[in-house]
Each structure stands twice: as C-alpha cells, then as structure tokens.
Amino acid sequence: MCSDWVIEAEQLGKCYRRYRHPIERLREALWPRGKTAAQEFWSLRDVTFRLGRGQAMGIIGLNGAGKSTLLQLIAGTLTPSTGRVRTQGRIAALLELGSGFNPEFTGRENIFLNAATLGLSEREISERLDAIIDFSGIGHHIDQPVKTYSSGMYVRLAFSIATSVEPDILIVDEALSVGDGAFARKSFDRIMEIRQRGATVLFCSHALFHVEVFCDTAMWLHEGRVREQGEVTRVLAHYQEFLDQAAAPPVVAPHAAHDPTQAGNPIQAPESLQGQARLVAVRVALDGQVGDELYGRSGASTLRVEIDFESDPALPAPTAAVVLSSESGRILATQFSLGSGRPLTRDRQGRATAVFECDHLPFNKGRYRVGAYILCERGIHVYQWIDPVAHINLHRDTLDLGFFVWSGRWGP
C-alpha cells in the first residue's frame, strides 16, 4: 500500500444471499453443490476511492443506498464479497455505539474490554482511564453494571471510549455529535479536534450542511453504486437537484425543536442550559404582520425574523441563522449573524433576541419556508432548530419563472 494513502478501496462490493424459507438455507449448507435457491442482493458494488492523511469524505445518498454498508466494510466489521479495502493506522468507528458492551460487566470493565478491541494495550487503557470516565460524565455509576445505565449513559461511555484512542481514521455514521445538552457540544468538539489533528475522516449524514462544512470531497451512492464522486460542493449541488426532482421530503435534523409551534409561541426545551443554547420563541413577520402563514409581494415586501434564545453564559455567544427554503426543502438562501460583524449581545443569564430584516424580498412568486437556527459560535454545531417556523407566500404579476427576481435591461 502506498504510504500516501490511508484508505484504499478497490472494486468494493457486498452481496447478501436471500432465501424464501429457512429450510432452503439449511439444504444449501448440507448440499453445497446442489441447486441453489438463494437470490443475490448487492448492497454495494464496484466502489473505488482513495483517501490521504487528513482528508475528509462525506458519504451521501437516500436510505438503502449502501452508505452504512460501505462504512462497515472500511471499519472491518463486514467482509467484502468482491474487491478489497486496505487501511493504515488505528480506526475509531462511531457506528453502533456500545454494541460491543457486555451488559453484565461494569462500566469500568467494559472500558478495558472495548478499548482493547480498538487496539489499545492494557497500559494505554490504564493511562487514559480517568480521562475516559471524566469525559463520559458517568461518575460513580462507572462501577455499576451497564445494564443498569440509561440509554444516554450507555452512548456517552461508548463515545468516550471510541474517541479516546487517538485514531488515524475516524468513521462517523449519521450524527456529528451524540447525546443531549452539554454532552452533544462536548462530543462535537471532540470530533472536530480529531479532524484537526490530521485524522482521515469518513462521514455519513443526511444533513448536507454538515457534509459541506466538514468534508473536502463527497461520494454520492445510489442503489449500491457510486453515482458521483469528487469536490464536495459540486456533488452536493447535483444531489440536491436529484432530491428536488424526486420531491423528496426534507430530513428532520437531530437537534430540531420537536414542537412545530406557531410563530411567537414558546418552544419546548430541556431545563438545563449547561453547555448548550436553545430557542425560546421565534416570530416571523411580513410587512409587519406576524404569523405562520404570511402573504406579501415579490420584490416589495419586508421580512423580519426575531429569534429569542438563551445560552450557557460560560460559553461564547452563539450564532443565530435564518434559512429560506423551497417547498421541497431545497435551501435557497441563508443569513448567519456570525457574518454580520455584529456579535449577539446577551444579558447575564445568557438571554438575547437576534433580529434579521430583509427589505424588498428578491424572491419570485411562490410559497417559501422560513427556518430559525441557533448554532455554536463557529456556526457549525446546531444546538436547536425549527424549520419551518413559518411560510411566506409571495405574489407577482409577471411571467417570470424560477426562485429569484432577475434584474436587467432589454435594448437594441
């Protein structure tokens, strides 16, 4: 294997044999030379790529496209049916966290068991033991059987172990951060630190925003095959066009506000603010009228969004964002307070209201979604969002098509 490449996959494929009845599987096992009754199902086929040290590749595609299968092949938890995969260095795979735990063992015993399977020696585990326990936040429960843990404690301990190995390759499936509240922020920061230390990253997610900010390249899988591969912005643009054509419903984000309340009403959220921020209320107005179904004129109306939030005062001030999307969920425009040059000012309890205004809305006639987000100070980690919080309906007496109003002049 060339030393420049940390991951090499060549013509990688995974085939499963499906039987209509269990007896057919037994008959084939007893008489392997007999006529087979199995049907072949290729979960993945002919996947080839290379990743160097410090590179990050996003894996995108619809459910059932083969994304998780590919990650498991790279992690070594599945054996390929065709082709081969070669890796260099230690792998940390955030796939099914805690799947290797023994429920009868204590948390401390499972640390030694799980970390050993990840390639750490007993001495290395002992040296990192206190840091693993401290990061997980399990506390005195560490010496209790993990079968007594809540699901949150279970995942926090598994994540702490998996990311303590200082991996050369990091594999993340679906979520960039795990757990709730303060631990979600801690886990996100831990993954970013691993990325910044030069680990090679494979990142699978339906959240295209995270793929774009986190990855250098992207691979689009469709029905088990590579549909497109290359520079992340180009691949994501083509994938978004595909979603629009298929009229696929937008995927709900992991940290969304679950109560789709009417604009201005309070949003339900956990009580503790430690290590996090949350939306309190969102008000959307079009030409001064507040509501969740608003009407105005293209190129003339004024949009105003007020986002009430509160955050841990010990953390840097968060970033607020407003997102305008089409009915199908395609993001048409975003506005982040981070780029405004006016940082959000909070009171001593961490409360504030972020206000965004846009005059003469440059969008064509149609119905649009308005979403409100609260993110970390870097504008990457999403604490909470609600999208849509309101819809705006714009009218225009012209034949113009498309999403935007295109200014210009005609002449001889």
Confirm if 394 and 364 have CB atoms less than 8 A apart: yes
pLDDT digits (tens, 9 = 90+) for 100-116: 788 899 999 989 988 88
**Do the domain assignments include residue 373?**
yes
Angle between helix 151-162 and 107-117 (nearest 10): 40
**Do the domain assignments include residue 409?**
no
Strand pairing category for 319-325 and 39-52: unpaired
Do residues 212 and 281 both lie within one domain? Answer: no
**Do the domain assignments include residue 266?**
no
Higher pLDDT, 359 or 34: 359
**Do the domain assignments include residue 259?**
no
> What whole-number distance in Å separates Cα of residue 187 and Cα of residue 236?
25
Higher pLDDT, 398 or 178: 398
Confirm if 318 and 376 have CB atoms less than 8 A apart: yes
* Statement: residue 142 has pLDDT above 60: yes
Q: pLDDT band at residue 253, thresholds of 50, 70 and 90?
A: very low
Do residues 337 and 199 both lie within one domain? Answer: no
| CATH of residue 306 | 2.70.50.60
Higher pLDDT, 180 or 307: 307
Instruction: Give the pLDDT score at 103.
Output: 87
> What whole-number distance in Å separates Cα of residue 267 and Cα of residue 380?
22
Do residues 350 and 223 both lie within one domain? Answer: no
* Statement: residue 324 has pLDDT above 90: yes
Instruction: Give the pLDDT score at 254.
Output: 38
Instruction: Give the pLDDT score at 64.
Output: 87
Do residues 225 and 291 both lie within one domain? Answer: no
Q: Is the peptide bond before 80 cis (omega within 30 degrees of 0)?
A: no
Domain boundary among 227, 246, 265: 246
* Statement: residue 179 has pLDDT above 50: yes
Going from the C-alpha of 201 to that of each of 151, 157, 204, the distances in angstroms are 26, 21, 10
Do residues 95 and 160 both lie within one domain? Answer: yes
pLDDT digits (tens, 9 = 90+) for 386-397: 989 999 999 998
Maximum alpha-carbon separation in the chain: 84
Do residues 207 and 356 both lie within one domain? Answer: no
* Statement: residue 339 has pLDDT above 90: no
Do residues 237 and 358 both lie within one domain? Answer: no
Q: pLDDT band at residue 364, thresholds of 50, 70 and 90?
A: very high
Instruction: Give the pLDDT score at 205.
Output: 85
Task: Collapse the DSSP code of 148 into the 3-class scheme (helix H, G, I; strand E, B; otherwise coil) and give the result.
Answer: helix
Number of alpha carbons in the 13 Å side-chain half-sphere of residue 98: 20
Do residues 283 and 241 both lie within one domain? Answer: no
Q: Tokens standing for 315?
A: 């953390």
| CATH of residue 213 | 3.40.50.300
Instruction: Give the pLDDT score at 255.
Output: 40
Phi-psi category of 393—alpha, beta or left, where left has phi over 0 and alpha has psi -120 to 50? beta
The contacts of residue 316 (CB under 8 Å, 6+ apart) are 376, 377
**Do the domain assignments include residue 256?**
no
Confirm if 100 and 113 have CB atoms less than 8 A apart: yes
* Statement: residue 281 has pLDDT above 50: yes
* Statement: residue 259 has pLDDT above 60: no
* Statement: residue 271 has pLDDT above 60: no
> What whole-number distance in Å separates Cα of residue 257 and Cα of residue 110?
34
Query: Which residue type is seen at 273?
Result: L
CB atoms within 10 A of CB 88: 17
* Statement: residue 149 has pLDDT above 50: yes
Which of 87-96, 140-149, 199-208, 262-271 is least confident?
Answer: 262-271
Q: What percent of the chain has pLDDT over 90?
A: 40
Instruction: Give the pLDDT score at 270.
Output: 47
**Do the domain assignments include residue 407?**
no
* Statement: residue 58 has pLDDT above 90: yes
**Do the domain assignments include residue 257?**
no
Instruction: Give the pLDDT score at 262.
Output: 44
* Statement: residue 354 has pLDDT above 90: yes
- Edge-first strand order for the sheet with 225-231 is 91-94, 169-173, 200-204, 56-60, 217-222, 225-231
pLDDT digits (tens, 9 = 90+) for 8-40: 999 999 988 776 767 766 666 666 666 666 677
Mean pLDDT along residues 254-263: 40
> What whole-number distance in Å separates Cα of residue 343 and Cα of residue 319?
8
**Do the domain assignments include residue 37?**
yes
Q: Considering its fold, how many domains does the chain have in total?
A: 2
Strand pairing category for 169-173 and 91-94: parallel
Instruction: Give the pLDDT score at 282.
Output: 94
Do residues 226 and 167 both lie within one domain? Answer: yes
Q: Which residue, 143, 193, 180, 187, is CA-closest to 161?
A: 187
> What whole-number distance in Å separates Cα of residue 319 and Cα of residue 382?
9
Task: Collapse the DSSP code of 280 into the 3-class scheme (helix H, G, I; strand E, B; otherwise coil) and give the result.
Answer: strand
For residue 321, give its domain range.
277-395
* Statement: residue 300 has pLDDT above 70: yes
Mean pLDDT along residues 202-231: 90
Do residues 169 and 209 both lie within one domain? Answer: yes
Mean pLDDT along residues 120-149: 89
Do residues 321 and 208 both lie within one domain? Answer: no
Q: What percent of the chain has pLDDT over 70?
A: 86
Mean pLDDT along residues 213-241: 91
The contacts of residue 258 (CB under 8 Å, 6+ apart) are 268
Q: Which residue, 140, 370, 373, 144, is CA-closest to 257?
A: 373
Do residues 132 and 241 both lie within one domain? Answer: yes
* Statement: residue 290 has pLDDT above 50: yes
